[in-house]
A and B are shown apart, each in its own frame.
Chain A
Amino acid sequence: MKNEYQKNIRNFCIIAHIDHGKSTLADRLIEMTGTVAQRDIKEQLLDTMDLERERGITIKSQAVRMIYERGGTAYELNLIDTPGHVDFTYEVSRSLAACEGAVLVVDASQGIEAQTLANVYLAMDNDLEIIPVINKVDLPSARPDEIAKEIEDVLGLDASDAPRISAKSGENVGQVLDAIVDKLPAPSGDEDKPLKALVFDSYYDNYKGAISYVRLIDGCVKEGTKIRFMASGKVFDTTEVGAFAPELVPTKELKAGDVGYIAASIKNVADTRVGDTVTDDANPAKEALPGYKKITPMVYCGIYPADGAKYDDLRDALEKLQLNDASLLYDPEVSVALGFGFRCGFLGLLHMEIIQERLEREFDLDLVTTAPSVSYRVRMMSGEEIEIDNPTNLPDPSMIEYMEEPIAQVSVMTPDTYVGAVMELCQEKRGVFKNMEYIEATRVLLHYEIPLNEIIYDFFDNLKSRTRGYASMDYEVKGYAKSDLVKLDILLNGEMCDALSIIVHRDRAYGRGRSIAEKLKEVIPRQMFEIPIQAAIGGKIIARETVKALRKDVLAKCYGGDISRKKKLLEKQKEGKKRMRQVGSVEVPSEAFMSVLKMDK
Chain B
Amino acid sequence: MDAYFHALGTEIKMTGRMYERKVDSVFFGGGTPSFPPAQYITGAMDALRRAFDVQEDAEITLEANPCSLDAQKLREYRAAGINRLSIGLQAAQDRLLAMLGRQHTRGQFERAYGLAREAGFSNINIDVIYALPGQETTEWEDTLCFATEKEPEHVSAYALKIEPGTPLFRAVELGEAVPADEDTDLAMYHMAQDVLEGKDFTNYEVSNFAKEGFECRHNLKYWNVRDYLGLGAAAHSCMDHMRFSNTEDVEEYISNMKAGKLRYASSELVSEKDRKLEYIMLKLRLKNGFSFFDYKSRFNEIFPEAFSREMGRVVSLGLAETDGRGLYPTKRGFDLQNQLVSLLIQNL
Binding site for B on A (CB under 8 A): 528, 550-561, 563-564, 566-567, 570-571, 573-574, 577
Contacts and interface: CB of A to CB of B under 8 A. Distances in A.
B254 interface: no
Contact of B345 (A551, A556, A570): A570
A570 B234 contact: no
B281 A570 contact: yes
A559 B222 contact: yes
B336 A567 contact: no
B342 A573 contact: yes
Contacts of A555: 206, 337-338
A554 B219 contact: no
A553 B230 contact: no
Contacts of B236: 560-561, 563-564
A563 B346 contact: no
A587 to B, nearest CB: 11
Given A552-B335, A573-B342, A558 B222 contact: yes
Most buried by A among B182, B185, B235, B282: B182
A563 B337 contact: no
A560 B342 contact: no
A559 B226 CA distance: 12
Nearest to A576: B342
Nearest to A578: B346
A570 B338 CA distance: 8
B206 A556 contact: yes
Which 10 pairs, one residue from A and one from B, show the smallest C-beta to C-beta distance? A554-B337, A561-B236, A552-B186, A556-B158, A556-B159, A553-B338, A560-B236, A551-B186, A553-B336, A552-B335
B113 to A, nearest CB: 22
Contacts, number: 95
Contacts of B337: 553-555
Contacts of A556: 158-161, 206-207
Contact of A558 (B245, B266, B282, B336): B282
B238 interface: yes
Contacts of B245: 561, 564
A567 B266 CA distance: 15
Interface in B218-244: 219, 222-223, 228, 230, 234-238, 243
A554 B336 CA distance: 6
A586 to B, nearest CB: 14
A570 B207 contact: no
Nearest to B334: A554
Interface string B316-343: 0100000000000000001111110110
Given A552-B189, A554-B206, A566 B335 contact: no
Contacts of B345: 570, 574
B277 interface: yes
B36 interface: no
Contacts of B206: 554-556, 558
Contacts of A552: 159, 182, 185-186, 189, 335-336
A560 B346 contact: no
